[in-house]
Structure 1
Amino acid sequence: LEQVLADVQGTHPADPVFLPPAEPGRDHGSSPGSPGPTRQEAAAEERERLYRQSRSYVEMNQRLQESRELLRERREELQRAGAALERGISEMRQKAF
């Protein structure tokens, strides 16, 4: 998993992994006089959007993993503290009686 995350982080938006498959039989240019971006520009914008979305997902996933590890460590600390408190309470009860 770490290798996959490192690979995704190091890729460029134009990497073939982020390119949608070519659609056979489709015109790759825009018709003359048509407003808006050409199909190539639109495809490039879509690739860039998907790339940013993928990077965002990977970064969020890493933050979640770090948070999960931090929470696991805190849970273990609280469990140890709880066990120590239980022992202390038990010792006090034994001394009181």
Structure 2
Amino acid sequence: MGSKAKKRVVLPTRPAPPTVEQILEDVRGAAADDPVFTTLALEDAPAPTGRADAEDQEAERERLYQQSRTYVTANQRLQQAGTELQRACQELRGAGAQLEREMDEVKQVTLPSAQAASSG
């Protein structure tokens, strides 16, 4: 069988980067609705100022503040619930161990008396 060695493909060399003149020509020749320029225009647009915008910003700040307060309160409740669950878990483990000990005591008391009654 023949060798499965791959032959290296020789890629063409990279073209030289465009000159400043070429870049400017491309920019000047681009349509006004070119997605690159409309996206950049939205990012660079100054934030409109005015009373309505200030009120909107204040309302947004208040909404975020209330959302943060709700988050903090819920987080505190979850931490308290976690602490309570850990405490309850320890209590249940203790109760389970106590139950095991009491069951062993009951077995020790009932088994010898049951054996004595059956042998008599």
- Scaled by the length of structure 2, what TM-score is found? 0.53
The answer to whether 1:46 aligns with 2:67 is no
Question: Percent identity between the aligned chains?
Answer: 43
Name the aligned partner's letter for residue 89 of structure 1: M
Could you list the runs of 4 or more consecutive aligned residues of structure 1 that deviate by over 2 angstroms after TM superposition? none
Larger relative CO (CA 8 A, sep 6+): 1 or 2?
1
String of CA shifts for 1:39-95, please: whole Å, max 9, x gaps. Answer: 110000000000010011001100110111011101110110111001100111122
Q: Point out the structure with max Rg over C-alpha.
A: 2
- Scaled by the length of structure 1, what TM-score is found? 0.64
- RMSD of Structure 2 on Structure 1 (CA): 1.6
Name the aligned partner's letter for residue 84 of structure 2: L
Alignment gaps of 5+ in structure 2: 1-43, 112-120
Alignment gaps of 5+ in structure 1: 1-22, 31-37
